[in-house]
Structure 1
Amino acid sequence: MIIVEEVQNENQKKEFLEFPARLYQHDKNYIRPLDKDIDEIFNPEKNKFFKTGECTRFLFKNKQDQTVGKVAVFVNHLYEQNQPTGGIGFFDCINNQKTADFIFDHCKNWLQERGMEAMDGPINFGERDKFWGLLIEGFAEPLYGMNYNSSYYKELFENYGFKIYFEQLCFSRPIFADVSRVFTVMHAKHKQNPNISARPMTKNNLEKFAKDFTEIYNKAWAAHGEGKCMEEAKTLKMFKTMKPIINEHISWFVYENEKPIAMWMNIPDTNQWFKYLHGKFGFLEKLKFLWVKKFKKNEKMVGLVFGVVPEWQRKGIEGYMIWEGTQHLRKHTDFKVTEMQWIGDFNPKMIKIAENLDTTVTRKLATYRYLFDRNKEFERHPML
């Protein structure tokens, strides 16, 4: 017998956060997300997606009143798919298929009552850049905002009938690994051009770099159907939010006669500091964070965005930028590895760029889909 509780009161909200910490207490790779990051997703005043959808959290308990699973289930009407598709996320469960099936059935019924014909999971009631996908390969410490789960979750999903809608590939490379000869050759070539220069992003000039970032991004990606256009004001706001963790040695811009033509944006993996806070971020934890940030070496950085304006693509300017930046950060930082945020297997252009940056796939997550009509033909995410 499984008892279902809708998360409504403070004790239930606390249990929603505490259950995975107990479940993974012996897993050395588990890093508890900050409680505030999870809470804000389920706060209508903080999460804009409540304006176009609805979301509910549930706890699942056994006869002894012990939590055996949890999940969030939601409808986001901006999430346009071939059929009305809801989502489930923040799923955690003991290693028991019957328990998992009960949770999935509960979510299916909740979504069907709201006119949905399929469910994707585990996904976020929000943007794809956080808490999206099930880890299926590369069970190492997660990056900040990345889902982490035990390996048995894959069987729980697939035994129920979920199929992989798309795979999420994370590319990585050691900082001190040999750099592609193509990069060093292109670096030597462009280094001879007096009109070409490279420089790292600095905190005291965020307005300029926000402007340059926006220009490069909109030319390289948004204008070619790879994403939405960025606004300079929003970019600056994002940079100011990131200011406390910006490392002035690891984000690089390239200029031709002071005109921005390429960028390589990285930040430290904040999970390497947050893992000492055990999900809390009150006054004392903030002091601890500052202490840890100052005295604990962070050896992992995260690649956020890479872009080259169209007129400079396929000319090797990325090689110049990567080698210029790599030589510098090797001397001035403690980083030993860089990992890129995930790229969908439906995006061959971005995968090719990642491969050309001399990286390898070190982690895979999967976004699963379950069609309620079991006779309907399953289709994977369309290729871009």
Structure 2
Amino acid sequence: MELVVVKDPAHVKEFLQFPLYIYKNDPNYIRPLDNDVESVFHNETNKFYEAENCIRWILRDSKGQTIGRIAAFINRYTAYTFDQPTGNVGFFECINNREAAFTLFDAARNWLKAKNMQAMDGPVNLGSRERWWGLLVDGFHPPSYCCNYNSPVYQSFFEDYGFKVFFKQHTYLRNVMEKLNKVYYAVADRIFKNPDYEFRTVNISRLDDFIEDFRTVYNTAWVNHEGIGEMTKEEADKTIRSMKPVIDEDIAWFAYHKGQPIGFFLSIPELNQLFVKYANGKLTLPVKLRLLYNKLTGKCKTMYGLVFGVIPQHQKKGVEVAMIVSASNALLKSRAYEEVQMNWIGDFNPRMMHIAEQIGAKIYKTHHTYRYLFDREAEFKRHPLI
């Protein structure tokens, strides 16, 4: 076997196309857009990317056939926030061969050790946890947009090598036509009667206002435990505007208290179902037209809950419930969607898991984020509860 560092366009093409061989007989696999994967590995499209702190390999057999791939990288925003300086591995794919898998893991471990890391997490993204995070171990359904879909054999590769579960990630599914428990309507009604609270859907014609509201809530509610610093105005603008072509105003909600943004429940049509599964990796003009047609005709019946939360000062007051009831009532009226998949909730966040379960959502998929300590005698600790 030969490890080849990805350096030129031909290697990049091999890296991007290799999963097609792994999943050629799997009807649930959806090829991601090449640009969505490749954008991780360029500083123009990923603020976390640093050329000296990122490497990719493809693995070839004695006949020159590609049999595996992996990336190793260091996110300097998060690497030193743990007990041990921790690097990462991601974008792992491999034939059903333990030796090949371990060869890839060894390459990543040795490279990270040389960079003075003492542990590695994987498979994860170089950047946001919302994309390419965790190994699918249960619920081998068609993947959601920019979410990992993996061969079932990979779990044994990671665990036999010595990776341990750092945390579990649960994607929840709910039938939007099912009414909520009566208790929720009672709690929401109390909030609705308080004139200080208001709930609004996004208005694309006033997108600038909602971009700033999004940044305000994010920087208040998420930044501390994500450990990646505040979201700048430019980053918020780029994030929201990139979604503008697929935003459905009726399923993106904000909560306000005395006119100030305090929470949001942002959903979009599930993009893999909307258009990516027709794209074969390329966002061509026909694919864009397919996206527009499917959106206008309501062909996509699955919505994807990107992010949901309320700033700490207004948690446990019923605001989350009122926002859910507002969205549920609108969906029941429009009947535009049949189901909602909620972006993953970590098992380190039992409160959010409880909310999902209380509104009738069920675990649909489970991913594992693994950690491997280079010192095999060091104490392993799971992700702390929040």
Provide TM-score, normalisation by structure 1. Answer: 0.89
Runs of 4+ in 1 over 6 A off after TM superposition: none
Once residues 50 and 226 of structure 1 are traced to their aligned partners in structure 2, the CA distance between those partners, rounded to angstroms, is: 17
Q: Residues 173 and 87 of structure 1: is their aligned pair in 2 closer, same or farther, counting only changes over 3 Å?
A: same
Give per-residue Cα distances to partners, 1:261-307, cap 9 Å, x unaligned.
54322111111121110111134433343344444611111212323
Residues 23-172 of structure 1: pairs in structure 2 closer than 5 A: 23-51=22-50, 53-78=52-77, 79-80=79-80, 81-172=82-173
- Give the 3 Å change call, closer, same or farther, for CA 158–140 of structure 1 in structure 2: same
- Does 164-173 or 107-116 show the bigger shift? 107-116
Distance (whole Å) between structure 2 residues aligned to residue 9 and residue 360 of structure 1:
44
Counting only pairs closer than 5 Å after superposition, residues 178-327 of structure 1 correspond to structure 2 as 178-192=179-193, 197-221=198-222, 229-231=230-232, 234-255=235-256, 258-272=259-273, 273-295=275-297, 297-309=299-311, 312-327=314-329
Deviation at 1:242, TM superposition (A): 1.5
Structure 2 unaligned blocks of 5 or more:
none
Letter in 2 for 1:375: E
Identity of aligned residues (%): 42
String of CA shifts for 1:28-80, please: whole Å, max 9, x gaps.
Answer: 11111110111121224333223485211111111222211111122333322
User: What per-residue deviation string (whole Å, max 9, x for no partner) do you get for residues 195-217 of structure 1?
Assistant: 65433212111123234434444
Note if contact 1:165-1:381 (Cα within 8 Å) is conserved in structure 2: yes
- CA gap 1:194/1:77 in 2 versus in 1, 3 angstroms: closer
Secondary structure class of the residue paired with 1:50: coil
The worse-fitting range, judged by mean Cα deviation, of 353-362 and 26-35 is 353-362
User: Structure 1 pair 11/236, CA: closer, same or farther in 2 (3 Å)?
Assistant: closer
Q: For the Cα contact (< 8 Å) 1:277–1:289, is it kept in 2?
A: no
CA distance in 2 between counterparts of 1:61 and 1:226 reads: 37
Structure 2: distance between partners of 1:211 and 1:116: 37
**1:16 lines up with 2:11 in the alignment:** no
Residue 342 of structure 1, CA deviation:
1.6
Q: Is the 8 A contact 2:246 2:295 kept in 1?
A: no
What is the CA–CA distance in structure 2 between the aligned matches of 1:118 and 1:220, rounded to whole Å?
Answer: 28
User: Which residue in 1 is equivalent to 2:343?
Assistant: 341
- Checking the alignment, whether the CA contact within 8 Å between 1:52 and 1:77 is kept in structure 2 is no
1:364 equivalent in structure 2: 366
Tell whether the 8 Å contact from 2:294 to 2:300 is kept in structure 1 after alignment: no
SS, match of residue 279 in structure 2: coil
Distance 1:201 1:156, change over 3 A: same
| Structure 1: stretches of 5+ with no match in the other structure | none
User: In structure 1, what is the Cα distance between the partners aligned to 2:174 and 2:97?
Assistant: 36
Give the Cα–Cα distance (whole angstroms) in 2 for the partners of residues 132 and 170 of structure 1. 12
Q: 1:164 to 1:307 in 2, by over 3 A?
A: closer
Match of residue 375 from structure 1:
377
Return closer, same or farther for 1:103/1:309 CA change in 2, 3 Å cut-off: closer
Q: Pairwise CA RMSD of aligned residues? A: 2.6
Paired with 1:144 and 1:7, the residues of 2 have a C-alpha distance of 25
Which range moved further: 139-148 or 341-350?
Answer: 341-350
SS at 2:12's partner residue?
helix
Instruction: Give the 3 Å change call, closer, same or farther, for CA 374–204 of structure 1 in structure 2.
Output: same
CA contact (8 A) 1:173 1:339 kept: yes
Q: How many residues align?
A: 382
CA gap of 1:191–1:95, structure 2 versus 1, over 3 A, is same
Please state if 1:329 is matched with 2:331.
yes
Inter-partner Cα distance in structure 2 for 1:297 and 1:90: 31
CA distance in 2, matches of 1:371, 1:216: 35
* 8 Å contact kept, 1:139–1:363: yes
Superposed displacement of residue 130, structure 1: 1.0
